[in-house]
Amino acid sequence: MKKEFKSGFVSIIGRPNVGKSTLLNSLVGAKVAIMSDKPQTTRNKIRGILSAEDYQIVFIDTPGIHKPRHKLGEFMVASAVNSFKEVDLILFMVDASEKVGAGDEYIMNILREVSTPVFLVINKIDLVKKTVIMEKIISLTSKFDFAEVVPVSAATGENLETLLRLIVQYMPQGPKYYPDDMVTDNPEKFIIAEIIREKILKTTRDEVPHSVAVQVEDIQNKGNLIFIMSTIYTEKDSQKGIIIGNNGQRLKEIGREARLEIENLFGNKVYLDLWVKVKKDWRKKEGALQQFGYYQE
Protein backbone atom coordinates (compact mmCIF):
# COMPACT_ATOMS: atom_id res chain seq x y z
CA MET A 1 0.00 0.00 0.00
CA LYS A 2 1.36 3.39 -1.01
CA LYS A 3 2.12 5.74 1.90
CA GLU A 4 0.03 8.91 1.93
CA PHE A 5 1.78 12.10 0.80
CA LYS A 6 1.60 15.07 3.15
CA SER A 7 2.08 18.71 2.26
CA GLY A 8 1.38 22.04 3.87
CA PHE A 9 2.46 25.55 4.77
CA VAL A 10 4.20 26.58 7.98
CA SER A 11 4.66 30.18 9.14
CA ILE A 12 7.68 31.07 11.30
CA ILE A 13 6.88 34.08 13.49
CA GLY A 14 8.34 35.91 16.46
CA ARG A 15 9.94 39.09 17.66
CA PRO A 16 12.83 40.53 15.62
CA ASN A 17 16.18 38.73 15.90
CA VAL A 18 14.97 35.47 17.50
CA GLY A 19 16.52 33.38 14.70
CA LYS A 20 13.66 32.83 12.26
CA SER A 21 15.82 33.05 9.12
CA THR A 22 18.46 30.77 10.65
CA LEU A 23 15.78 28.19 11.43
CA LEU A 24 14.36 28.40 7.90
CA ASN A 25 17.77 27.91 6.30
CA SER A 26 18.62 25.04 8.67
CA LEU A 27 15.35 23.19 8.03
CA VAL A 28 15.48 23.62 4.26
CA GLY A 29 19.20 22.87 4.10
CA ALA A 30 19.96 25.87 1.91
CA LYS A 31 20.32 29.61 2.33
CA VAL A 32 17.02 31.09 1.20
CA ALA A 33 16.80 33.95 3.73
CA ILE A 34 19.50 36.49 4.51
CA MET A 35 20.90 36.52 8.02
CA SER A 36 22.23 39.37 10.13
CA ASP A 37 22.66 40.05 13.82
CA LYS A 38 20.67 43.23 13.28
CA PRO A 39 16.95 42.97 14.12
CA GLN A 40 14.27 43.25 11.42
CA THR A 41 16.54 41.87 8.68
CA THR A 42 13.69 40.07 6.91
CA ARG A 43 11.24 42.44 5.20
CA ASN A 44 9.16 40.23 2.91
CA LYS A 45 7.65 36.80 3.42
CA ILE A 46 10.33 34.41 2.21
CA ARG A 47 9.33 30.86 1.28
CA GLY A 48 11.64 27.91 1.78
CA ILE A 49 10.65 24.49 0.41
CA LEU A 50 11.59 21.17 2.02
CA SER A 51 10.82 18.08 -0.07
CA ALA A 52 11.08 14.43 0.97
CA GLU A 53 9.77 11.12 -0.35
CA ASP A 54 6.48 11.33 1.54
CA TYR A 55 6.05 15.05 2.30
CA GLN A 56 6.65 18.60 1.13
CA ILE A 57 6.64 21.52 3.56
CA VAL A 58 6.63 25.17 2.51
CA PHE A 59 8.07 27.31 5.30
CA ILE A 60 7.28 31.03 5.35
CA ASP A 61 9.85 33.21 7.15
CA THR A 62 8.09 36.40 8.19
CA PRO A 63 9.38 39.81 9.29
CA GLY A 64 9.75 40.17 13.04
CA ILE A 65 6.53 41.43 14.65
CA HIS A 66 7.18 44.76 16.35
CA LYS A 67 5.59 48.17 16.88
CA PRO A 68 5.99 49.89 13.49
CA ARG A 69 7.59 53.36 13.24
CA HIS A 70 7.10 54.00 9.52
CA LYS A 71 5.30 52.71 6.42
CA LEU A 72 7.92 50.00 5.90
CA GLY A 73 7.41 48.82 9.49
CA GLU A 74 3.64 48.71 8.96
CA PHE A 75 4.15 46.61 5.82
CA MET A 76 6.48 44.20 7.65
CA VAL A 77 4.08 43.59 10.54
CA ALA A 78 1.04 43.27 8.23
CA SER A 79 3.00 40.79 6.09
CA ALA A 80 3.71 38.61 9.13
CA VAL A 81 0.14 38.72 10.49
CA ASN A 82 -1.39 38.00 7.06
CA SER A 83 0.67 34.82 6.81
CA PHE A 84 -1.45 33.30 9.61
CA LYS A 85 -4.37 33.03 7.19
CA GLU A 86 -2.61 30.87 4.62
CA VAL A 87 -0.85 28.21 6.70
CA ASP A 88 -1.53 24.84 8.32
CA LEU A 89 0.81 25.43 11.26
CA ILE A 90 2.49 28.35 13.04
CA LEU A 91 5.91 28.19 14.71
CA PHE A 92 6.10 30.91 17.37
CA MET A 93 9.81 31.42 18.05
CA VAL A 94 11.27 32.96 21.17
CA ASP A 95 14.86 33.54 22.22
CA ALA A 96 15.85 31.39 25.20
CA SER A 97 18.40 34.01 26.27
CA GLU A 98 15.84 36.85 26.38
CA LYS A 99 13.14 37.48 28.98
CA VAL A 100 9.48 37.14 27.98
CA GLY A 101 8.47 40.69 27.10
CA ALA A 102 5.65 42.87 25.88
CA GLY A 103 6.47 41.89 22.29
CA ASP A 104 5.82 38.21 23.04
CA GLU A 105 2.56 39.12 24.80
CA TYR A 106 1.52 41.18 21.78
CA ILE A 107 2.10 38.24 19.42
CA MET A 108 0.23 35.80 21.67
CA ASN A 109 -2.75 38.17 21.76
CA ILE A 110 -2.83 38.07 17.95
CA LEU A 111 -2.53 34.27 17.97
CA ARG A 112 -5.54 33.94 20.28
CA GLU A 113 -7.68 35.05 17.33
CA VAL A 114 -6.30 32.24 15.13
CA SER A 115 -7.57 28.64 14.96
CA THR A 116 -4.33 27.33 13.38
CA PRO A 117 -2.20 25.05 15.65
CA VAL A 118 0.77 26.89 17.19
CA PHE A 119 4.11 25.35 18.24
CA LEU A 120 6.25 27.14 20.80
CA VAL A 121 9.82 26.92 19.49
CA ILE A 122 12.38 28.06 22.03
CA ASN A 123 15.56 28.89 20.12
CA LYS A 124 19.20 29.44 21.13
CA ILE A 125 19.10 26.76 23.87
CA ASP A 126 22.85 26.34 23.35
CA LEU A 127 23.34 29.73 25.03
CA VAL A 128 21.52 29.14 28.35
CA LYS A 129 21.17 26.63 31.21
CA LYS A 130 18.35 24.07 31.21
CA THR A 131 16.74 25.72 34.25
CA VAL A 132 16.32 28.93 32.24
CA ILE A 133 14.66 26.99 29.42
CA MET A 134 12.24 25.32 31.85
CA GLU A 135 11.33 28.68 33.41
CA LYS A 136 10.57 30.07 29.95
CA ILE A 137 8.42 27.07 29.05
CA ILE A 138 6.43 27.35 32.29
CA SER A 139 5.96 31.11 31.83
CA LEU A 140 4.77 30.93 28.22
CA THR A 141 2.61 27.78 28.45
CA SER A 142 0.73 29.33 31.35
CA LYS A 143 -0.34 32.14 29.00
CA PHE A 144 -1.13 30.19 25.81
CA ASP A 145 -2.29 26.72 24.85
CA PHE A 146 0.47 25.59 22.48
CA ALA A 147 0.00 22.42 20.41
CA GLU A 148 3.65 21.43 21.02
CA VAL A 149 6.69 22.88 22.81
CA VAL A 150 10.10 22.26 21.22
CA PRO A 151 13.40 23.73 22.52
CA VAL A 152 15.99 23.95 19.69
CA SER A 153 19.19 25.55 18.52
CA ALA A 154 18.75 26.62 14.91
CA ALA A 155 22.45 27.48 14.76
CA THR A 156 23.82 24.09 15.95
CA GLY A 157 20.93 21.93 14.71
CA GLU A 158 20.10 20.59 18.19
CA ASN A 159 16.60 19.06 18.33
CA LEU A 160 15.68 20.12 14.78
CA GLU A 161 14.95 16.50 13.81
CA THR A 162 12.35 16.32 16.61
CA LEU A 163 10.83 19.61 15.48
CA LEU A 164 10.62 18.44 11.86
CA ARG A 165 9.05 15.09 12.84
CA LEU A 166 6.33 16.91 14.81
CA ILE A 167 5.73 19.38 11.96
CA VAL A 168 5.18 16.52 9.50
CA GLN A 169 2.65 14.94 11.90
CA TYR A 170 0.56 18.12 11.76
CA MET A 171 0.62 18.40 7.96
CA PRO A 172 -2.54 17.40 6.07
CA GLN A 173 -2.62 14.98 3.15
CA GLY A 174 -2.00 17.03 0.02
CA PRO A 175 -0.27 17.46 -3.33
CA LYS A 176 3.32 18.26 -4.22
CA TYR A 177 3.31 22.01 -4.87
CA TYR A 178 6.88 22.40 -6.18
CA PRO A 179 9.54 20.29 -7.96
CA ASP A 180 11.81 18.30 -5.61
CA ASP A 181 14.91 20.36 -6.42
CA MET A 182 13.27 23.73 -5.73
CA VAL A 183 14.17 25.33 -2.37
CA THR A 184 12.46 28.70 -2.79
CA ASP A 185 9.86 30.28 -5.08
CA ASN A 186 11.26 33.79 -4.80
CA PRO A 187 12.27 35.28 -8.20
CA GLU A 188 15.93 35.71 -9.19
CA LYS A 189 15.90 39.50 -8.85
CA PHE A 190 14.53 39.26 -5.29
CA ILE A 191 17.19 36.72 -4.23
CA ILE A 192 20.04 38.77 -5.75
CA ALA A 193 18.78 41.99 -4.13
CA GLU A 194 18.59 40.24 -0.74
CA ILE A 195 22.16 38.92 -1.08
CA ILE A 196 23.42 42.44 -1.83
CA ARG A 197 21.44 43.87 1.09
CA GLU A 198 22.89 41.24 3.43
CA LYS A 199 26.44 42.22 2.42
CA ILE A 200 25.62 45.90 3.06
CA LEU A 201 24.35 45.07 6.57
CA LYS A 202 27.43 42.96 7.25
CA THR A 203 29.98 45.41 5.83
CA THR A 204 28.58 48.64 7.28
CA ARG A 205 27.71 47.13 10.69
CA ASP A 206 26.00 49.84 12.81
CA GLU A 207 26.95 52.73 10.54
CA VAL A 208 23.96 52.32 8.23
CA PRO A 209 20.59 51.39 9.77
CA HIS A 210 17.76 49.67 7.91
CA SER A 211 17.37 52.59 5.55
CA VAL A 212 18.84 50.69 2.62
CA ALA A 213 16.86 49.22 -0.27
CA VAL A 214 18.28 47.30 -3.21
CA GLN A 215 16.71 47.14 -6.65
CA VAL A 216 18.03 44.84 -9.37
CA GLU A 217 17.49 46.75 -12.60
CA ASP A 218 18.64 44.22 -15.18
CA ILE A 219 19.93 40.66 -15.56
CA GLN A 220 21.44 39.55 -18.88
CA ASN A 221 23.09 36.28 -19.83
CA LYS A 222 26.08 36.98 -22.07
CA GLY A 223 27.63 33.63 -22.91
CA ASN A 224 29.41 32.35 -19.80
CA LEU A 225 28.83 35.64 -17.98
CA ILE A 226 25.76 36.91 -16.13
CA PHE A 227 25.59 40.72 -16.19
CA ILE A 228 23.67 42.21 -13.27
CA MET A 229 22.94 45.91 -12.83
CA SER A 230 21.67 46.93 -9.40
CA THR A 231 21.02 50.16 -7.49
CA ILE A 232 21.41 50.63 -3.75
CA TYR A 233 19.10 53.30 -2.32
CA THR A 234 19.69 55.18 0.96
CA GLU A 235 17.70 57.91 2.66
CA LYS A 236 20.59 60.36 3.24
CA ASP A 237 23.71 61.58 1.45
CA SER A 238 25.77 60.67 4.53
CA GLN A 239 24.60 57.06 4.27
CA LYS A 240 25.50 57.00 0.59
CA GLY A 241 29.01 58.13 1.51
CA ILE A 242 29.34 55.39 4.13
CA ILE A 243 28.33 52.66 1.66
CA ILE A 244 30.73 53.93 -1.02
CA GLY A 245 33.58 54.40 1.49
CA ASN A 246 36.99 55.98 0.93
CA ASN A 247 37.85 55.85 -2.78
CA GLY A 248 34.92 53.46 -3.28
CA GLN A 249 36.59 50.70 -1.26
CA ARG A 250 33.56 49.71 0.81
CA LEU A 251 31.29 49.48 -2.23
CA LYS A 252 33.94 47.30 -3.92
CA GLU A 253 33.96 45.00 -0.88
CA ILE A 254 30.14 44.79 -0.85
CA GLY A 255 30.20 44.01 -4.57
CA ARG A 256 32.95 41.39 -4.24
CA GLU A 257 31.21 39.47 -1.43
CA ALA A 258 27.82 39.64 -3.15
CA ARG A 259 29.28 38.57 -6.50
CA LEU A 260 30.98 35.50 -5.01
CA GLU A 261 27.74 34.35 -3.38
CA ILE A 262 25.68 35.00 -6.52
CA GLU A 263 28.24 33.05 -8.60
CA ASN A 264 28.00 30.15 -6.15
CA LEU A 265 24.20 30.28 -6.38
CA PHE A 266 23.98 30.34 -10.19
CA GLY A 267 27.12 28.35 -11.03
CA ASN A 268 28.24 31.07 -13.48
CA LYS A 269 30.67 33.94 -13.58
CA VAL A 270 28.96 37.22 -12.66
CA TYR A 271 29.66 40.86 -13.49
CA LEU A 272 27.92 42.92 -10.80
CA ASP A 273 27.45 46.62 -11.55
CA LEU A 274 26.48 48.50 -8.36
CA TRP A 275 25.26 52.11 -8.10
CA VAL A 276 24.28 54.08 -5.00
CA LYS A 277 21.50 56.69 -5.03
CA VAL A 278 19.61 58.73 -2.43
CA LYS A 279 15.81 58.53 -2.18
CA LYS A 280 14.94 60.72 0.79
CA ASP A 281 12.70 59.12 3.49
CA TRP A 282 11.70 56.25 1.16
CA ARG A 283 10.54 54.07 4.08
CA LYS A 284 7.72 56.54 4.77
CA LYS A 285 6.43 56.70 1.18
CA GLU A 286 3.88 54.28 -0.26
CA GLY A 287 5.11 54.71 -3.84
CA ALA A 288 8.73 53.97 -2.92
CA LEU A 289 7.70 50.85 -0.97
CA GLN A 290 5.87 49.53 -4.02
CA GLN A 291 8.84 50.37 -6.25
CA PHE A 292 11.10 48.25 -4.04
CA GLY A 293 8.66 45.33 -3.92
CA TYR A 294 7.09 45.87 -0.50
CA TYR A 295 3.39 45.36 -1.12
CA GLN A 296 0.68 43.11 0.23
CA GLU A 297 -0.25 40.00 -1.73
| Residue 84, pLDDT above cutoff 50 | yes
| Residue 43, pLDDT above cutoff 50 | no
The share of the chain scoring above pLDDT 70, in percent, equals: 77
| Residue 77, pLDDT above cutoff 60 | no
Q: Please name the residues in contact with 175: beta carbons below 8 A apart, sequence gap of 6 or more.
A: 5, 7
More confident residue, 204 or 269: 269
| Residue 89, pLDDT above cutoff 80 | yes
pLDDT of residue 141: 95
pLDDT of residue 73: 53
pLDDT of residue 42: 44
| Residue 28, pLDDT above cutoff 70 | yes
Give yes or no for a contact between 125 and 159, defined as CB atoms under 8 angstroms apart: yes
Task: Name the band, by pLDDT with cuts 50, 70 and 90, for residue 66.
Answer: very low
Q: If you write DSSP's letter for every residue of 11-48 in order, what string do you get?
A: EEEESTTSSHHHHHHHHHTS--S---SSSS---S-EEE
Catalogue all structural domains in the chain, each as residue range(s) with its CATH number.
6-170 (3.40.50.300), 188-291 (3.30.300.20)
Task: Name the band, by pLDDT with cuts 50, 70 and 90, for residue 117.
Answer: very high
pLDDT of residue 213: 83
**Mean pLDDT over the full length of the chain:** 81
DSSP secondary structure code for residue 6 in this structure: E
pLDDT of residue 79: 59
| Residue 37, pLDDT above cutoff 90 | no
| Residue 41, pLDDT above cutoff 50 | no
Beta bridge partners of 214: 232
Strands 148-151 and 46-51: unpaired
Give the C-alpha separation, 256 to 254, whole Å.
Answer: 6
pLDDT of residue 1: 54
| Nearest-10 Cα torsion for 190, 269, 181, 123 | -60
| Residue 287, pLDDT above cutoff 80 | no
| Residue 38, pLDDT above cutoff 80 | no
pLDDT of residue 127: 93
| Residue 88, pLDDT above cutoff 90 | yes
| Residue 91, pLDDT above cutoff 90 | yes
Lowest model confidence (mean pLDDT) among 34-38, 83-87, 96-100, 164-168: 34-38
| Residue 136, pLDDT above cutoff 70 | yes
Q: Where are the beta strands (DSSP E) in 142-196?
A: 148-151
| Residue 128, pLDDT above cutoff 90 | yes
Helices 20-28/160-170 angle, 10° precision:
80
Among the listed residues 215, 166, 195, 218, the one whose alpha carbon sits nearest the alpha carbon of residue 266? 195
Give every strand in the sheet of 269-278, ordered side by side: 213-222, 225-234, 269-278
Task: Name the band, by pLDDT with cuts 50, 70 and 90, for residue 254.
Answer: very high
Lowest model confidence (mean pLDDT) among 21-30, 144-153, 228-237, 277-286: 277-286
Structure confidence by residue, pLDDT tens digits, 137-189: 999 999 999 999 999 999 999 999 999 999 999 999 998 888 887 787 667 77
In Å, how far are 185, 197, 226, 235 from 216, measured between CA atoms?
Answer: 17, 11, 13, 18
Segment (H or E) for 60: strand 55-61
